[in-house]
């Protein structure tokens, strides 16, 4: 049972007073709200000492668990030589080499401080390349916090007519509202016809190859690749989640579809602020400052912390771990076992639910038919989803609001405890809604 100390209660109250985003625990139950004390491997502890098996993993980065020894060693060894220089450094160059080695579309690389920056710069480069402004994204996809990305993402209500975009937050300039076009994910015919109809206005198409927890239908990504290539419209893969999580080549390696640009970050960040943009040389070269002197179309890319040596050396250490045989096999094995345990618990409870995604990132939906995109997922009862997360949290299993992130360091004991928690939570939920 969770025991909350006065010290932790005071910290939570202070967080609520200071931060409009508060503690960021997405729970219906204030008693489950917590403040992190520490994290190690696949576990996280709150300030009161309650322990949780962690499937939030900092919103995805910790594919090898919290405080991995290789990350700690890289952090300590590089920091002595200075933490940030703006000017390029050996660690950043080595990271660039590794990105080009592993990510199929990568011919050149730029390093940033977040995934949101990487997607933002990808869209800007596409605009310069195409000399056009509009970006097509898919309904329900999340590409970060920049103004173009906060349109028709996973928090979109209703069913606005395609390709109209709706802003997901106040504060986005009105002038941008019609600069983003929306298509349904996993519906190749609909998406291809929107792209074809708007080809003369489009700067680029951005897609999460695995959108949230919806795997691409066979042929969908290749079809989007073909139609964009046909009109010379840059295709941007947002691999902020899938990059180095689905394998060294990310989703593009797994599905065999090569985009023109790719944004990635989380899995090689070790939890440090890192975003990576990579792609075709002729498009990436648009950021070369020499072009300004040559009066060529140019897009400036800078940031005080870009190419940061600490982030780069942590990323290098993690890539070295990912390159070891067995790392991705274990990740896949853990995910497969947890997903099977979840499916078995659903079947055993008799509750109407299904599981989407891929072994290392997936979700439960409380509906009869398996959702494949944003609109079909609305058949799911969102209340049950949050309640299920709370019932798991009560048993010491932490998940993200809308997905499970798996690590390669979850143990068989973790999996066993998690599956037991699934059974208890689903039985309780079934009773509550009966």
The CA dihedral of 361, 364, 368, 372, to the nearest 10 degrees, is: -30
Choices 110-118, 189-197, 357-365, 400-408 (CB under 6 A): range interacting with ligand PLP = 110-118
Q: Which stretch binds ligand PLP (CB under 6 A): 141-149, 295-303, 329-337, 400-408?
A: 141-149
Long-range Cβ pairs for the range 94-101 (8 Å, 24+) = 94/312, 94/316, 95/312, 95/315, 95/316, 95/319, 98/315, 98/316, 98/319, 99/276, 99/278, 100/278
- Are 422 and 414 in contact by the 8 Å Cβ rule? The answer is no
115 near ligand PLP, rule: CB under 6 A: yes
Of 165, 191, 240, 408, the one binding ligand PLP by CB under 6 A: 240
Contact 424, 395 (CB under 8 A): yes
Interaction of residue 234 with ligand PLP, rule CB under 6 A: no
Rank residues 140 and 396 by Cβ distance to ligand PLP and give the closer one: 140
| Closer Cβ to ligand PLP, 168 or 193, answer by number | 168
Concerning whether 266 is annotated as a catalytic residue, the answer is: yes
Smallest separation (angstroms) from ligand PLP to the CB of 275: 6
DSSP run (H or E) holding 347: helix 327-349
Paired with 277 in beta bridges are 110, 263
State the Cα–Cα distance between residues 427 and 134, nearest whole angstrom: 48
Locate 164 and state its tokens: 């109209």
Q: Which is nearer to ligand PLP, 52 or 138 (CB)?
A: 138
306 near ligand PLP, rule: CB under 6 A: no
208 touching ligand PLP, by CB under 6 A:
yes
Look-up: residue for tokens 């940030």?
84
CA nearest to 359, candidates 348, 370, 343, 373: 343
Q: Which of 187, 238, 260, 373 is catalytic?
A: 238
> Whole-number minimum distance, CB 252 to ligand PLP, in Å?
14
**Assigned token pair, 242:** 């899938």
* Whether 238 is catalytic: yes
Q: Tell the smallest beta-carbon distance from residue 61 to ligand PLP (Å).
A: 9
If you count them, how many residues does the chain have? 434
| Options 29-37, 73-81, 140-148, 305-313: segment touching ligand PLP (CB under 6 A) | 140-148
For residue 245, the minimal CB distance to ligand PLP (Å) is 11
62 binds ligand PLP (CB under 6 A): no
Collapse the DSSP code of 11 into the 3-class scheme (helix H, G, I; strand E, B; otherwise coil) and give the result: helix
Residues 254-283 that bind ligand PLP (CB under 6 A): 265, 275
Residue 168 engages ligand PLP in binding (rule: CB under 6 A): no
Q: Using CB under 6 A, which of 33, 116, 306, 307 touches ligand PLP? A: 116
Cβ count within 10 A of residue 390: 19
CB of 242: closest distance to ligand PLP in angstroms?
A: 8
Which of 187, 238, 363, 390 is close enough to bind ligand PLP by CB under 6 A? Answer: 238
143 scored as a contact of ligand PLP (CB under 6 A) = yes
Active-site residue identified among 266, 337, 399, 403: 266
Nearer to ligand PLP, 187 or 208 (CB): 208
Whichever of 241 and 353 has its CB closer to ligand PLP, that residue is 241
* DSSP states along 243-282: TTTS-TTHHHHHHT---SEEEE-HHHHTTSS-EEEEE-HH
CB of 364 to ligand PLP, least distance (A): 19
Among residues 38, 33, 78, 80, the alpha carbon closest in space to that of 58 is found at 38
Q: Name the closest residue to ligand PLP (Cβ).
A: 115
Residue 119 contacts ligand PLP per CB under 6 A: yes
Q: Does 142 bind ligand PLP (CB under 6 A)?
A: yes
Per-residue burial over 317-351, b if 16 or more Cβ lie within 10 Å, else e, is: bbbebbeeeebbeebbbbbebbbebbeebbeebeb
Binding site for ligand PLP (CB under 6 A): 59, 114-116, 119, 142-144, 208, 238, 240-241, 265, 275
Catalytic residues: 142, 238, 266
């Amino acid at each position: 049972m969770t025991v909350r100390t006065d010290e932790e209660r005071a910290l939570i109250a202070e967080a609520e007073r200071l931060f409009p985003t508060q503690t960021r625990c997405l729970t219906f139950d204030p008693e489950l709200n917590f403040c992190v004390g520490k994290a190690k491997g696949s576990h996280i502890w709150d300030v009161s000492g309650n322990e949780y098996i962690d499937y939030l993993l900092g919103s995805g980065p910790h594919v090898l668990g919290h405080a991995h020894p290789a990350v700690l060693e890289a952090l300590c060894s590089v920091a002595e030589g200075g933490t940030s220089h703006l000017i390029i450094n050996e660690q950043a160059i080595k990271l660039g080499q590794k990105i080009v080695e592993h990510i199929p579309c990568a011919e050149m690389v730029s390093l940033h401080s977040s995934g949101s920056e990487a997607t933002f710069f990808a869209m800007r480069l596409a605009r310069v390349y195409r000399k056009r402004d509009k970006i097509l994204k898919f309904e329900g996809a999340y590409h970060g916090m920049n103004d173009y990305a906060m349109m028709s993402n996973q928090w979109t209500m209703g069913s606005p007519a395609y390709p109209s975009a709706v802003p997901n937050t106040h504060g986005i300039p009105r002038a941008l509202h019609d600069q983003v076009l929306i298509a349904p994910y996993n519906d190749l015919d609909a998406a291809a016809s929107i792209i074809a109809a708007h080809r003369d206005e489009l700067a680029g198409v951005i897609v999460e190859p695995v959108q949230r927890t919806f795997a691409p239908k066979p042929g969908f990504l290749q079809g989007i690749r073909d139609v964009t290539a046909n009109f010379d419209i840059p295709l941007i893969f947002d691999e902020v989640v899938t990059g180095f999580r689905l394998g060294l080549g990310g989703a593009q390696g797994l599905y065999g579809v090569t985009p023109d640009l790719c944004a990635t970050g989380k899995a090689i960040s070790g939890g440090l602020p890192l975003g990576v943009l990579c792609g075709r040389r002729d498009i990436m070269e648009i950021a070369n400052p020499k072009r300004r002197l040559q009066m060529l179309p140019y897009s400036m890319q800078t940031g005080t912390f870009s190419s940061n040596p600490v982030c780069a050396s942590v990323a290098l250490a993690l890539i070295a771990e990912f390159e070891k045989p067995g790392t991705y096999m274990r990740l896949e094995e853990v995910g497969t076992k947890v997903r099977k345990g979840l499916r078995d618990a659903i079947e055993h409870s008799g509750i109407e639910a299904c599981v989407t995604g891929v072994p290392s990132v997936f979700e439960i939906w409380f509906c009869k038919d398996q959702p494949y995109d944003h609109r079909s997922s609305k058949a799911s009862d969102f209340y049950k989803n949050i309640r299920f997360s709370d019932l798991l949290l009560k048993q010491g299993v932490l998940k993200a609001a809308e997905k499970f992130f798996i690590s390669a360091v979850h143990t068989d004991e973790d999996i066993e405890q998690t599956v037991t928690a699934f059974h208890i939570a689903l039985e309780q939920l079934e009773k509550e809604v009966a």
